[in-house]
Amino acid sequence: MARVRRYLRAAARWLRLLTRSSKREGIRVSYGHDVVPSPGEAVAGGTGKFQRLAQRFPNSPNDFSLLYLGSTWLPRDLRPLLWLARRRNAAIVVNQSGVAYPGWAGAETDEINRRFRRALLAADHVLYQSEFCKRSADEWLGEPRGAWEVLYNAVDVEHFAPGEAPDGPPTLLLAGDQTQAYRLEVALETLVRLPEARLIVTGRLVSDPAPLVRELGLAGRVELVGRYAQRDAPALFRRAHLLLHTKVKDPCPTAVVEAMACGLPIVYAASGGTVELVGDEAGIGVAHPDGWARDEPPDPEAMAAAVRTVLADRGAYGVAARRRAVERFALDPWLERHAELFRQLAGGEPPARRSRTR
């Protein structure tokens, strides 16, 4: 029955797509889906940037004149949607995040990358979320046929802002969805080495942490809060003294930028785009074996040592984190760059190839 309902929704969607005119004036953006999360709603994966962008450019799923796709939120009907965009002479923009590689995707690497590649090669313009995203996409997907630039993810630095430093013992935050088991495991192993600290864990978990919590003797020191809405995110960040980011090869984690905007220093796995976000002053990156064959996170002892160093000078790290977020990752310039890009594409003016905005 669920499959039948899905087919019926798809049929209704394509009836609307094929019968709606796209000849109205103006820029009308489709994000490839009928619905984009509303402001304040919980987001996952790549939907956060669409939520922010849709406030400036509302979703027009049927009569679109520009198709904006995210590699982490590609529609099921990607191939026919690309065909329709070409038929309408609608420009195609792809926001390219990570790629599949054997370390996390295993035998599904080629299949996942096939969809990523289809979108990237169809694009008139590609926005890579970090320099790392560009390098990894070149290696696993190939170079784009159209123009491209690096445009980091952005956050509302008025909404995500520092509060009063939390009272009580040092509190670490593991934010986002814990979609690889090692992310939570490394955080718990790090916590063991910090006997005064507590850990807040957010998002979806792929494994039950209770057995490891019991084994490590961490009862009462770990709080699982589940998924959270964007409107509640700043209050959650303000409960912590620093963000512990254990994911390796993370393309451009928005949670890291949100934490920095709230004045939280970052202790993180020194790989992927996270290195570009945090820089030298907003936290400490911990080295680890870095290859495509498998994900090897940092040693928990080294992570704990970095946490102690940051906590000892948390004020300076926190100020630097906030300053870096405001200067480099504020939402308004990000939105303005999209507006400029959309105007260029709508007017038939090709954006400069290999340009960078950061």
Each residue's pLDDT tens digit in the chain (358 positions)? 767 677 677 777 777 878 866 667 789 999 999 999 887 777 776 788 899 999 999 999 999 999 999 999 999 999 999 999 999 999 999 999 999 999 999 999 999 999 999 999 999 999 999 999 999 999 999 999 999 999 999 999 999 999 998 999 999 999 999 999 999 999 999 999 999 999 999 999 998 999 999 999 999 999 999 998 888 999 999 999 999 999 999 999 999 999 999 999 999 999 999 999 999 999 999 999 999 999 999 999 999 999 999 999 999 999 999 999 999 999 999 999 999 999 999 987 777 554 444 4
Tell me the C-alpha distance between 282 and 267, whole Å. 9
| Interacting residues of 131 by C-beta distance below 8 A, sequence separation 6+ | 150, 273, 276
CB neighbourhood size of 121 (10 A): 16
Q: Secondary structure of the chain: what % helix, strand, coil (to 5)?
A: 45, 15, 40
The region that residue 323 occupies, defined by phi over 0 for left and psi between -120 and 50 for alpha, beta otherwise, is alpha
Query: Alpha-carbon torsion 59, 261, 257, 206, what sign?
Result: negative
Tell me the C-alpha distance between 256 and 271, whole Å. 13
Q: What single-letter DSSP state applies at residue 73?
A: G
Q: Which two tokens stand for residue 122?
A: 């169809």
Tell me the C-alpha distance between 293 and 150, whole Å. 26
CB neighbourhood size of 179 (10 A): 14
The whole-model pTM stands at 0.93
